Chain A
């Protein structure tokens, strides 16, 4: 679970000198990916590389515009990760194809299983490296974008996160009791936050 954005983001941020920024990038990716359940043969974002890439994109700039760009970039990396996982699953099938003639031994099974794990590790490392390498080249001159856009970027992120939190709750369940609990949680939290602000 270190690949979850709320762990991978601050961990990457720690390496880059700003773990809080990493947590913010990870937090938004976490909300956006929370409803994706890894059940059966489903495909879902590869959130680990996505969070690291988003953090690497956010830390140098700071501010809502940089956070928006970081989240958007993280989504792209997450999608690319999903496709790369899909390809790796085919590679793993070839690596552990044990129905072929020949004797299966504990050593051969272990070697094939570990080779599949190593291929996934290499895939994730390559994706993360490429993303972190590519971002400054794709977004050259980003620091010069006028800061006036910070309010707009914050609104975009708020709309996105709020909509997705609703989707997340709907994924959990649907019914009066669920909405009563959601409303009660929101009311209590809002009162405390506004009073303590």
Chain B
């Protein structure tokens, strides 16, 4: 079996950062997976260009998991390739692993971690932190987990190979989204009064009214999300168009 040197691991990791670069409706992340696998495939097939071309074609077919956990699939496939697994087995493995990786990553990163980091950044700013502290906190927090996931995925995929699915079943990643739900809701709640006051709420007794109104509106938004979501976008849109039309007529 080919040893995955630290340099090759680093090259795969860096290439995985661009895995969505050619995202499209036909193969989705397919070309990105092939692009990230090049350092391994080029070494495995260095004496056989035809087999390298065939291998690259196979690995640029349809794939669409979560981009941050793609390193799990990439490293596991790299290991299977280095063990000279059958092409059909590798294809079956990729088809089987893509959904769990997508589901875990979407729930953990898109639905929990990113909103939590964004809301924390916003809360920091509205609580009085300088803008750069809020932006830097968002970037540092978010990317610490983002990069850790990629590195962890690379190690896990290479270590477990075709058995990586079993290892994922027992990993804490499956339970983490549920554990982040309550902190996320609490931070969203903490942001609401600060946002209400920051948007020009009056001082004194009026502040409490503004916060109360904002709270009621948030409950309405959660109660009727489809209508409220459209309204929340349309209200400033129409308002701004009216102001712009007014401005143009004056100008």
List, in ascending order, chain B residues with CB within 8 A of A109's CB.
31, 34-35, 38, 56, 60
Q: B244 an interface residue at 8 Å Cβ cutoff? A: yes
Among A38, A113, A178, the residue within 8 A (CB) of B182 is A178
List, in ascending order, chain A residues with CB within 8 A of B197's CB.
193, 197
Contact with B along A177-197 (1 / 0, CB 8 A): 111011111111110011001
CB pair A106–B38 under 8 Å, yes or no, is yes
Q: A139-B244, A169-B188, A189-B190 are in contact. Are A96 and B27 (CB under 8 A)?
A: yes
Q: Shortest distance in angstroms between B55's beta carbon and chain A's nearest beta carbon?
A: 9
Among A1, A161, A184, the residue within 8 A (CB) of B139 is A1
User: How far is B206's CA from A151's CA once the two chains are assembled, in angstroms?
Assistant: 14
Q: B243 an interface residue at 8 Å Cβ cutoff? A: yes
List, in ascending order, chain B residues with CB within 8 A of A13's CB.
131
User: How far is B31's CA from A96's CA once the two chains are assembled, in angstroms?
Assistant: 7
- Interface size bucket, B side? 35 or more
User: How far is B215's CA from A149's CA once the two chains are assembled, in angstroms?
Assistant: 24
List, in ascending order, chain B residues with CB within 8 A of A123's CB.
none
CB pair B207–A165 under 8 Å, yes or no, is no
Q: B151 an interface residue at 8 Å Cβ cutoff? A: no
Contact with A along B175-217 (1 / 0, CB 8 A): 0000001111111111111111101110100011011011101
CB pair A96–B24 under 8 Å, yes or no, is yes
Q: B22 an interface residue at 8 Å Cβ cutoff? A: yes
CB pair A181–B244 under 8 Å, yes or no, is no
**Segment 1-50 of A: residues with Cβ below 8 Å from B:** 1-2, 4, 6-7, 10-11, 13, 19-20, 22-23, 27-28, 30-32, 34-35, 37-41
User: How far is B238's CA from A144's CA once the two chains are assembled, in angstroms?
Assistant: 19
List, in ascending order, chain A residues with CB within 8 A of B85's CB.
none
Q: Shortest distance in angstroms between B251's beta carbon and chain A's nearest beta carbon?
A: 2
Which B positions have Cβ atoms within 8 angstroms of A? Answer: 18, 21-28, 30-32, 34-35, 38, 41-42, 49-50, 52-53, 56-57, 60, 64, 102, 106, 110-112, 114-115, 118-119, 121-123, 125-127, 131-132, 134-135, 138-139, 142-143, 146, 181-197, 199-201, 203, 207-208, 210-211, 213-215, 217-223, 225, 228-229, 231-233, 235-241, 243-244, 246-251
